[in-house]
Each structure stands twice: as structure tokens, then as C-alpha cells.
A and B are shown apart, each in its own frame.
Chain A
């Protein structure tokens, strides 16, 4: 076994050992033990991923573990990248979780499940056969479902969220199962090698791709299969939210890449236009919902949908360009998408952990009830700011680099990609731009309303900084954000090599990498350079220079503290502050037709006169429109069917006997007629 294998097996072993150990140890030692083991496992997993990505692959075959098929593992670069990301996210979440668990999450199940969840997410990208993949996938679904349910005694919403999650994830599983089982049957074998070698008829390829796309896209929270995401991710404990939103959703992207590009070797342009379209829709819809959300964790969940959408725009563009024969540009789009996966994982981990820290300190995640945390939780505030900067894709954040690459690939695609490209690419650029703009609005809201200004409720007033372990977990995530932002060259060479090799038709050995450069990133074959480090340094120099200039030339007068300007009428109460809802109101109004917000106004007049008002009640809600149009009718129909069925079963034994009698008669009559 080589280094990669040793590390990977160590990671799995640590996870699998941590679960029973967490069950057996007493409550007080449990979080520390489980956390330490998961941290170590995450480190080992990340290291295994990195070594595998840099060329040292590893594969294994364990025939005895699963009946019939056995387990097959293979860490090729594609899988390795996702293993590395999962490992890194697990480290941050586990360190954080040690302290977060004191929050009443130190029960046996709550502590034993996260290591298993991590193990399953390490296994999914390493699986090299259909059965292994499906088992790992289902293990991932079950463990995450258990974790979503961890706080079901505290909030009623948890149960509902878990139900949605359970149903959606299993429908997704069924789609993947159908797709891959059919694929294996047609290919005459279920290992990925056999699948790769199989030549399927075009119709079957389409069917396999569409079925697996539906399943994987639902895991990535892609519209219209996103409804569970913004429910389930926020309801889970925060470090689990981070694991789900930063690592688990990636598995959806992994699946699409694995099946679409690797196993099926790319496909016709319409597959990828479909992926691109779904991505564009998700990006817009996700960020719009996030822009008007006032629940901090829900906002982050919607933003996950947006970012996965951006990734799929890249993946779709890559597949589309490859189908047109432009493998260089396809590799660029794919590298951008992969880099965005990594970036998103880094900043979403950070943001969810910081949101958990806020929840921990204030007991609420409602932005309308927060505020004033800057003074009370300085570390959390600063760390959230780093994440928010990254998520709004502004320099010097890491989100900017990947979005820049993505835009470059789309822009250069225009002249070469025919009419379909000429229609798609500008719209995709428009979508990315609009979602970038809305992301800025979203995160200005999240940070500005949630952390700055004055506390809006006593809960926020009493907040205090989180324990060191939680800050440590966040700081690790923030550090990776900073590294990714200033020196994307630390990960880009590996990712662009992976992208170049993954693009169908790239041949062996694959073509040159699409992006290169240490400090200044350069596109290969196209003009385009960006230097994130230079931007950051120039900005820092300008700001420091200005600070110096102000000190030198400006006022010698001392800075004075004064009351807020309240038009002389003060004092201003925190209720006068802009809330998240009011902050988003103009946007909500602009996108009225898309969001279809609901509001109702109850005015109760006094007894004496209809013109004198006793009380006014205003309620506003922004329902998920897709859910309403697509899911509600189905749910209503299912409900109606259920109610109709209760009419059949009224509890009378006579009736049941009668049903039996009729059924038997019907069968007999049918047999008599047919035979």
C-alpha cells in the first residue's frame, strides 16, 4: 500500500473507530474523543486526497466486505480532489464541534454519527464500482439524516425538514440507482472500468445521464430539486450544516462529473446545455431567495444552491465546449468550476460555523433579531467578514478568483461556439453577473445587519464570544479562504491538470493545463491575466498610504465620540434600525414578479368608530415559488389520495372481509376469462 492508501485507510479507520468509541465513552469525554478522532481522520483524508491528486493514485479491492460484488476503491485525481475537500472541511467542523457539542449535542447518536458521515463522504468519491458507490451514498444519506434530526426535540421545524430531506434524498437515490444499475446491466459489469469501456447505444446513454443527473443534482441542491436543502441544512447542528453544505453537496457535482465526463466520456451538446441551464436557474433562484431571507442559516443554505449553480454553469460550459471540440476552453471552464467547488467549500464552512457561533451565543439565527455582535463577538465578526467577502465574489476574496476564471471561459467561448453558444454564453454571463450583484447585496445584509450596528433584542445584547475551539475551527476555515484568495496557485495546478485530463477528447497525454502561473494567473491560449495577490497588495498599500496621509496632513484635532445624529429628537431605539427584511425590501420589490411575496394586513378598528384603529397586524412571507408550483400540487394530490384511502379503511372487519372476497372473486373471474 502506498502513502495515499495508508493515509486513506487511516482516515477511514479513525472514523470507523471513533463511532463505537463515542458510544462507549462517558458523556464528558465524548465530544473531545470524537472530535479528535474526526480531526485526525480529516487531516489524513485531506492528505490522502492531495497525494492522490498530485499523481500517486491508489486502488483496492475487498471482495469479502459486501456480499456479491465486494468493495472496490480507487483514488484517481477526480475522486481525490473531492476526498481532499471533504477531509479539510471535516477538520474545521470537527475542531469546532468539540466546543459546539456542549450545546446539548453530546448525546451518543449525535457524537457517533459525524465520524460515520465523514467516512461515507470519503468513500463516495473513492468508490470504483456501482455497488460501492451506492452503498456509500446511502450511508451518507442516512447518517446526514440522523444528524439533521439531532435537535428534533427542540424545534418542531426539524421534523418537517428531515421528512423533506428523507423523501428527496431517497428519490434522488432511486434515480441514481436506476441510472447506474441500468448502465451496469448494459455494460455487462459494474466496476467503473467496465462502465468506461462499454459502448452504449445513444438512447441508453441519454437515459443513464438524465437519471443520474436528476439524482446527483438533487444532492447538490439544484433547482428545481433544491427544496430540501434550504430546509435541512439550517436545521442541522451548525458543524453538520457546514459538512453538508460544504462537503456533501459537492458529491452531487462529483457524481455528474464522474458519470457524465468520465464514465460516459462526455455527450451531446444538449446534455450540457441542460446542465448549464439548471445551473443558471439555480444560481439566480438561490441567490434571490438568499437576498430576501432573514434567517441567517437559511440564507446560507440558499447561497449554497447559488454556488452549486455557478459550479454547474462551469461544468455545463465545459461539457458543451468539449462537445464542440474546443478542449482547451472546456478545460478552463472545468478548472474554474473545480476551483469554485474548493472555494465554496472553504467559505461556506466558515460561514456556517460562524452562523453556529452566533446561534450559540444569542440563541437565534433570525437576522432581524441580531445586530451589535461586532463589539460582543469580535473574533466571530471578523471571521464572518472574511467569509462574506469571499462569498460576495469581491477581491481580495477567494470567490472572486474562481468567478473570474468562469467568466473568462464563457467570454472566450463566444466567437467559436456557434449559434447555441452565442445565445447561451451571454445569458450565462448575465446570470453570473446578476447573481454576483445579488450575492453582494445578500452578504452586505448578512454582515451589516447581523453583526454591525446595535443589538435588536436582549438575546443579541447578552451575546459573548464563543469558546476557543469554535474560534479555532472557524480560523482554520478562514485561513484556507485567505490562502485560496491570495495564492490560488497552491491548488490551481492540480485542479487544472485534473480538468485538462477530464475533458473528453483531450487524448493521452492530456493537453496543456488551461491556467498557469504563480502570482499572476495566465490563461493558456487566450489573453487574460489576473493577479489576486497584486490586487490585495495594491489595495493594502493604498489604504495604508491613505491612513498615513490622513495622519500627516489632516486634522490635528483629536477624534471625538458623540451621540448618533438622531435629528435632535433621540434617543434612537434599536427598533428604528434597518432590519434584514427592510434591507431586502427594495430588491424584493424589484423582483416582485419572480418572488411573488405574500403579505396580509389585519386592521382592527376600535369599537367606537371604524376609523379609529385599535391594532394593526402585518405579516409578510416569501414562499418558495417553485415549491408552490411544482411540489404543492403533488403533495396535495398525495394527501387527497391518502384521505380517499382512509374512506376505504373505516375499521369495520366486515368491510375488510368483503374486500377480500371481492378481490378473490375478481382474480378468479380474471383467471377464468384469460385462461
Chain B
């Protein structure tokens, strides 16, 4: 316990100072949310590279939570789906149902090149298509995988903070 306390003291604050927002714009449909966005992450068939980046976006260094974004356990609690990977056949129905399960207003963030246009997996036999072929997409984050800064930036576009 003392050791942990020392560690806390020594580490101090690791969160990087919040960068200035480049465009300062908010996704119009997210304006209603007023600075609080709960996110349900759906892995539609990703290679898990994007997941690693999401984890670090919500880690102490980038601390996406400070802008009012939070990961939640149920789509019923969510405002936005954070979809990664190309939509595989096995996940097509599940993604659609997850989307239906989110109460209005609901947004979809397609995260990573795979989610935008199937990326490296385009044309593969198990892939149905990009996320926008299955559910309407509001925000796209490019990159393979997108860096945490980009993820945080996109989320700030939803929370407006």
C-alpha cells in the first residue's frame, strides 16, 4: 500500500495536456448530447490493432474520458457505436442488432481503414463490406490503425469538448 502510494506520488500526472482542437467543430447530430458520450465498442472483425489503440486512447496518457467520452458495457447505455474492422459475415447481423439496441440519438464511428473501406481485407471471402454498408456511419477515423490522437480527436468531435 505504501509502495503504491509512493508510485502514485512519483508518477504524478501522466495525462498529456489537452491539445488545441484543430477545427473545433462538432458533429451536428451529436450536439444534443451536450458533452457526454457513452460509447459501446463493437469489433466487427478487426485484427485487434485498432483495439490496442482504443485502449491507449482511454489510457492515462491520452485520457479520452476527460472530454466526456466513456466506454460502457451495454448498447442500451450508449450514444455511439465505435466499430472497428471490416464487417465480417459472422458479425453483420450482430452489428445491425447492436445498432438497433442503441436508443436515439445514436451515432456510429467507423474506426480504422478496415471499418471505412475494408482496408487490407477488401474482397476477402468472409467480409460483407465496410461499416457504412451495414449501418449509417457518422464519423470516420482513417489510419491502420489510427493513432490515439486521431481517435481522441474524433471523440472530441462528438463531445464538443
Contacts and interface: CB of A to CB of B under 8 A. Distances in A.
A and B bound? yes
Interface of A: 557, 560, 562-563, 565-570
Contact of A568 (B98, B103, B104): B98
Given A563-B97, A568-B93, A569-B94, 4 more contacts: A566-B97, A568-B95, A568-B96, A568-B101
B94 A557 contact: no
Contacts of B93: 568
Interface in B84-107: 91, 93-98, 100-101, 103-104
A565 B94 contact: no
18 contacts: A557-B104, A562-B101, A563-B97, A563-B100, A563-B101, A565-B74, A565-B75, A565-B76, A565-B101, A566-B97, A568-B91, A568-B93, A568-B95, A568-B96, A568-B98, A568-B101, A569-B94, A570-B97
B52 to A, nearest CB: 22
Nearest to A569: B94
B76 A568 contact: no
Contacts of A567: 94
Contacts of B91: 568
A568 B100 CA distance: 10
Interface of B: 74-76, 91, 93-98, 100-101, 103-104
The 6 closest A-B pairs by CB, nearest first: A568-B94, A568-B97, A568-B98, A565-B101, A565-B76, A565-B74
A563 to B, nearest CB: 7
A569 B94 CA distance: 6
Contacts of A560: 103-104
Nearest to B99: A568
Contacts, number: 24
B106 to A, nearest CB: 11
Q: Which of B91, B98, B101 has the most CB of A within 10 A?
A: B101
Q: Which of B91, B96, B100 has the most CB of A within 10 A?
A: B100
A558 to B, nearest CB: 10
Contacts of A570: 97
A569 B96 CA distance: 11
A557 B106 CA distance: 13
Q: Which of B95, B97, B100 has the most CB of A within 10 A?
A: B97
Nearest to B75: A565
Contacts of B95: 568
Nearest to B91: A568
A561 to B, nearest CB: 11
Contacts of A562: 100-101
Nearest to B42: A568
Contacts of B104: 557, 560
Q: Which of A563, A566, A567 has the most CB of B within 10 A?
A: A567
Contacts of A568: 91, 93-98, 101
Nearest to A565: B101
A382 B103 CA distance: 30
A452 to B, nearest CB: 18
A565 B75 CA distance: 8
A566 B76 CA distance: 11
Contacts of A566: 97
A435 to B, nearest CB: 34
Nearest to A570: B97
Contacts of B96: 568
A570 B103 CA distance: 19
A450 to B, nearest CB: 26
A83 B46 CA distance: 74
A569 B91 CA distance: 9
Contacts of B94: 567-569
Contacts of B74: 565
Nearest to A558: B104
Contacts of B103: 560
A565 B72 CA distance: 14
B75 to A, nearest CB: 6
A117 to B, nearest CB: 53
A566 B96 CA distance: 12
A557 B105 CA distance: 10
B142 to A, nearest CB: 26
A571 to B, nearest CB: 10
A566 B103 CA distance: 15
Contacts of A569: 94
A570 to B, nearest CB: 7
A150 to B, nearest CB: 49
A563 B98 CA distance: 10
